[in-house]
Amino acid sequence: MNLIGKTSVEIAELLKGGGDRDFRGQQVAGWIHQRDARTFEEMSNIPKVLRNQLAKEFFLTEPEVLEKAFSGDGSTKYLFEVEGGATFEGVSMPDGGKATLCLSSQTGCAVGCTFCVTGALGAGRNLGPEEMVGQYRLMRRDLPGEVERINLVFMGMGEPLFNTTHLGQALEILFERVSPKRITISTAGIIPGIRWMAALSKRPKLAVSLNAPDQHRRQEIMPITRRYPLDQLMASIRAFPLERGRRITFEYVLIRDFNDSVADAGAVARLIAGIPCKINIIPLNEDATHFPELRQPSKEVVDDFAGTLRDAGRVVTVRWSKGADVAAACGQLKGRNTAVLALK
Ligand code: SF4
């Protein structure tokens, strides 16, 4: 059994067995989740006999790093391999004293958004909690020493809300190191998953990939909209409980002559009226192989779109993606080397 996928409470419970082991459980969990131990051997305050026993009963296996691609903007894209040979990607984006780690939840994606390389490559399998936590451990270990604050965003490969059982367990483990307010789950709009998140006692932040202001166009680029229509999605977002000071994030991939007009920005403002939120505008990352017909709007069009939303009183950030030179940007995961980052 891989203890990286177990919470500290579960590890303590698993180690129970009389005598010394009861007391040592918390220590072993501390070594794994707080001190980043990779082997039982390095747990220096645990008696050697117990370490040997643990190594026979349990293991601490992380994904294998097959490749790291370093972008000129400081971000790094990781290609991981897990049991059975499946691969997935994660992206680390340090920025002075803080860093954002973009995590994957699946090894592909069945949602099939037409502007996303991961979607074009098709479904993969769900990652287990130990694999999701493992990618976090590996990327965190490489961060520069000055990084004090880490934000985690489940915006890599896959739809996290199609993998809620494993995601829930991974979150319980991640919460031991990272506050829920520093973790964001980004979804294509899986309504039962949003309700699942709403019912969590410790709740990460919710980001929803919106990408169009109406059912018709959203369905065109995000086929999942047929299953979870836009009006029902918006109702589930309006019902989502928000702690004081929190906001929903809407991601909006801006595609030239498709969803980028000033009128579209006005329609988005009306759609989200009354919802405490911010909007991340992501000018499309073009991909000549997978969706050659989709283009990035000009900077002027992006500015006009953002300006219209700001004039409507909205908080807007334009995210010209990081890591584009190594295919680590939004919608590009697994785009090169047949493996790396999507973005909801
Ligand atoms: S954008 Fe996200 S949900 Fe859509 S296909 Fe890509 S990985 Fe899947």
pLDDT at 167: 98
pLDDT at 342: 39
Pick the catalytic residue from 109, 113, 277, 330.
Answer: 330
CA 88 and chain centroid, separation? 12
pLDDT at 332 over 80: no
Band (pLDDT 50/70/90 cuts) for residue 116 is confident
Q: Which helix (H) or strand (E) holds 224?
A: helix 224-227
CA of 252 to the centre of ligand 1 (A): 13
Whether residue 300 lies in the annotated active site: no
Pick the catalytic residue from 62, 89, 131, 172.
Answer: 89
pLDDT tens for residues 27-71?
Answer: 999 999 999 999 999 999 999 998 999 999 999 999 999 999 999
Distance of alpha carbon 178 from alpha carbon 152, whole angstroms: 8
Q: What is the dihedral of CA 308, 310, 314, 320, to 10 degrees?
A: 90
pLDDT tens for residues 192-224?
Answer: 999 999 999 999 999 999 999 999 999 999 999
Q: Which tokens in the block code for residue 21?
A: 């082991």
Q: Which tokens in the block code for residue 205?
A: 């932040």
Residue of the nearest CA to atom 2 in ligand 1?
344
Q: Which domains does the chain have, with CATH numbers?
A: 3-57 (1.10.150.530), 64-326 (3.20.20.70)
Q: Is 116 in the pocket of ligand 1 (CB under 6 A)?
A: yes
Rounded percentage of the chain residues whose pLDDT exceeds 90: 80
pLDDT tens for residues 6-29?
Answer: 999 999 999 887 667 677 899 999
CB atoms within 10 A of CB 176: 15
Q: What is the mean pLDDT of residues 265-280?
A: 97
Q: Which tokens in the block code for residue 91?
A: 């992206």
Whether residue 113 lies in the annotated active site: no
Under 8 Å between Cβ of 135 and 87:
no
> Which parts of 162-308 are beta strand (E)?
183-187, 205-209, 248-254, 277-283
